[in-house]
Amino acid sequence: MVENLQKIAEVFLLAENRLLREALVRLLSKKTDIRVVGANSYSPTVYREIVAAQPRIIVSDSASLASTKALMPTLRSAIPGLRVVLVDMDADENVFLQVVREGVVGYVLKNASAVEVAATIRAVASGEAVCPPALSMALFRSVAEQAVAPSAAVLGADLGLSRREQQMVELLRERLTNKEIAQRLNLSEQTVKNHVHHILRKVGASNRLTVVERCQLQRPRAS
């Protein structure tokens, strides 16, 4: 009996669309190996609800994920091993790659069947990542392109950036906010603001996107 309990996937449903949320509750409540421990739309109090419920997986729609993006690093700290599955999605390569970079490990299209949704949750609960076959090539292509592209931080070294500032450039390239960078590097938000200010001055840029572009265009000195 203990072994069976350990296999149960505890899920918190986070969806702005009430019909979708209620449909998922009905669907998943019928599964003996999946337990819904909470369901809500985004609100200022939803963080406390999720932490109190301690789910293994958050099943979210795109609107809720966008609203809670800034909360995700804190949620992952409060709930080690937390995984995110997106449902009701289009087969958009750019959206797919962006949410993968943000830590989503399950991607379910809006025309998926109930069986596919449940199978995705089970797979993610067991440590797998799941995406529609149509988007697999986009993921492989993105990884291949990153492997041959010069690192923004390495290229930034020729612009006089310190090692810490080069590290910051990589996180700016991920489009993280100052708060998210602070959480990633275990720094205060004010310290991150100071670093970003120094980077902008050294690179001669007026915004964060220009910093990343100039670091990518800069060529390292020949050895």
* DSSP calls for 26-80: HHHHT-TTEEEEEEE---TTHHHHHHHH--SEEEE-HHHHHHHGGGHHHHHHHST
For the chain, the domains span: 2-143, 152-217
With CA atoms as reference, report the closest residue to 203 among 150, 155, 134. 155
pLDDT at 211: 81
pLDDT at 104: 92
| Crossing angle for the helix pair 163-173 and 189-203, to the nearest 10 degrees | 100
Return the exposure string of 108-124: e unless at least 16 CB atoms fall within 10 Å of the residue's CB, then b: bbeebeeeebbebbbbb
Q: Are 42 and 68 in contact (CB under 8 A)?
A: yes
How many other CB atoms are found less than 10 A from the CB of residue 44? 6
**Token pair belonging to 41:** 């739309």
pLDDT tens per residue across span 76-130: 889 999 999 999 788 888 888 888 888 899 999 988 888 999 999 999 999 999 9
CA dist., res. 182 & res. 210, Å (int): 21
Length of the chain: 223
With CA atoms as reference, report the closest residue to 12 among 30, 47, 131. 47
pLDDT at 163: 82
With CA atoms as reference, report the closest residue to 103 among 132, 145, 60. 60
Fold of 152-217: Arc Repressor Mutant, subunit A (1.10.10)
Q: Are 27 and 117 in contact (CB under 8 A)?
A: yes
In which residue ranges of the chain is pLDDT below 50?
1-6, 153, 219-223
pLDDT at 146: 61
**Token pair belonging to 160:** 């006089």
Maximum alpha-carbon separation in the chain: 64
How many other CB atoms are found less than 10 A from the CB of residue 69? 16
Q: Between 1.20.1250.20, 3.40.50.11810, 3.40.50.2300, 3.40.50.9100, what CATH number should domain 2-143 receive?
A: 3.40.50.2300
3-state secondary structure of 17: coil
pLDDT at 1: 41
pLDDT at 106: 95
